[in-house]
Amino acid sequence: MSIKLAATCLFGLEKLLGEEIDALGLTRLETIDGRIIFEGEEADIPRANIALRCAERVFVLMGDFFAPSFDALYEGTKALPWEDWIGKNDAFPISGHSIKSTLTSIPACQKIVNKALADRLGSAYGLSWLPQDSGITYAVEFFLLKDRAMLLIDTSGAALHKRGYRPHANAAPLRETLAAAIALTARPREDVLLWDPFCGSGTIAIEAAMILTGRAPGLARSFAGESFARLPAVLWEDARESARAAIKTDSACEVWASDIDEDALDLTYENALRAGVEEQLNIFTADARQIVKPDRRGTILCNPPYGERLMTPEQVETLYREMGRHFATFDPWQIYVLTSHEEFERLYGRRADKVRKLYNGMIPCYLYQFFKPAAARENAPKGNFKKGRHNDGKHDQNKRRY
């Protein structure tokens, strides 16, 4: 029997997440900012949790209805078949969000949803009081948008960007789902070298290597849904086995990860080892302002310092100017730069061919995409820029550090 599911994501990743859902052979029903509603079966809950690179969580969508008042929220919630999932001894903590809706008090909405759910389950099980102390925990979430209420059960548990390979990160970590999105935007291919010259703890390089080798992001972690009575263990075992079978063990891809900070490179190697892609990464020390373009096709993907946690604003502006001058020597490589600095293009000295607004957690940032070769840029119409341990430069970028 088909069920409705919802996958949430960081704002700006809806298109990529939708493409991932399509690739799983599932049917998209609706796209809302930060979430996609799609249709599937019970077996697709493990598949989606294990396979989706850009999703933050996967939910069962119990139902949606118009809720401009507390009475409507109560009645709509009570009408849903919660007993299909939640047992008489199970716990159901409530959380939620309200955006542009009449009902703005989250605590009040939590109380209403909790009462409605308890009344529904009490009636279904012939109980006047639900113990909620000896069963499974089902995290229930309500989402109110313009007075439309969605009631959901979280099947993921910890957010899906927590892959498990990065227990420690550097001072300015990039969320794994966003790193995967950057790599997916560049459309990685085995015959094109991917290089992150500001690799930090290696998140972009690792996510790119996982994509190129077909390694599912959720293979090394567990999920809340594994304890659900309605989702037998065999569904999760089958999904994991299928994901393992899809890994390209003979992949010839190579991803370069360099940084000026050797401590960061230690983190990169440890994280790559945990992620299972250490063989695909060439990790070495280098100053991004002095790297040399190899004689092959390639793409630079990077998340340089923003000036918020690493470097001062003045140092960042100098870095961006130097990046612009030096990265020009990599033409016709494609270059993708993620930063929250709205003056990046002016400092870099080149208009991006495309700019996409994204979010790293709650921090707004921009993915500046440079993919047109110099000859094509010369004929393009001109316009204003959008606001939008040190080795002294000596490195062998063709030799693995590990």
* C-alpha triplet 48, 50, 200: angle, nearest 5°: 120
* Short-list 224, 210, 159, CA closest to 181: 210
**10 Å Cβ neighbour count for 154?**
22
Question: Residue 270 and residue 110: Cα distance in Å, rounded?
Answer: 42
- The tokens describing 294, both together, are 């190899």
Of 35, 97, 101, nearest to 67 by C-alpha is 101
- Measured CA to CA, the distance from residue 221 to residue 247 in angstroms comes to 17
Residue 238's contacts (CB-CB under 8 Å, 6 or more residues apart) are 43, 46
CA 93 to CA 116: how far, in whole Å? 13
The 3-state secondary structure of 128-162, one letter per residue: CCCCCCCCCECCEEEEEECCEEEEEEECCCCCCCC
Cα separation, 128 vs 146, whole angstroms:
34
Other C-beta atoms within 10 Å of 295: how many?
6
CB 140 within 8 A of CB 94: yes
How high is the pLDDT of residue 391?
36
Which H or E element spans position 207? helix 203-212
Helix (H) or strand (E) holding 114, with range, is helix 106-125
The amino acid sitting at 187 is R
Q: What order of strands is seen across the sheet that includes strand 334-339?
A: 281-285, 255-259, 193-196, 298-302, 334-339, 363-370, 354-360
Is residue 182 within 8 Å of 367, Cβ to Cβ?
yes
Q: Which amino acid, one-letter code, is at 218?
A: G
Q: Nearest-CA neighbor of 361 among 34, 126, 79?
A: 34
Distances (CA, A) of 354 to 56, 185, 256, 371: 25, 11, 24, 9
* Domains identified in the chain and CATH numbers: 3-154 (3.30.2130.30), 176-215+248-378 (3.40.50.150)
Per-residue pLDDT of the chain (402 residues; tens, 9 = 90+): 799 999 999 999 999 999 999 999 999 999 999 999 999 999 999 999 999 999 999 999 999 999 999 999 999 999 999 999 999 999 999 999 999 999 999 999 999 999 999 999 999 999 888 887 778 999 999 999 999 999 999 999 999 999 999 987 666 689 999 999 999 999 999 999 999 999 999 999 999 999 999 999 999 999 999 999 999 999 999 999 999 999 998 888 999 999 999 999 999 999 999 999 999 999 999 999 999 999 999 999 999 987 555 678 889 999 999 999 999 999 999 999 999 998 999 999 999 999 999 998 788 999 999 999 877 766 655 556 555 523 333 445 554 555
Predicted local confidence at residue 376, as pLDDT: 73
Q: Give the angle subtended at the CA of 344 by the CAs of 342 and 348, to the nearest 5°.
A: 165
The structure tokens listed for 268 are: 């990169």
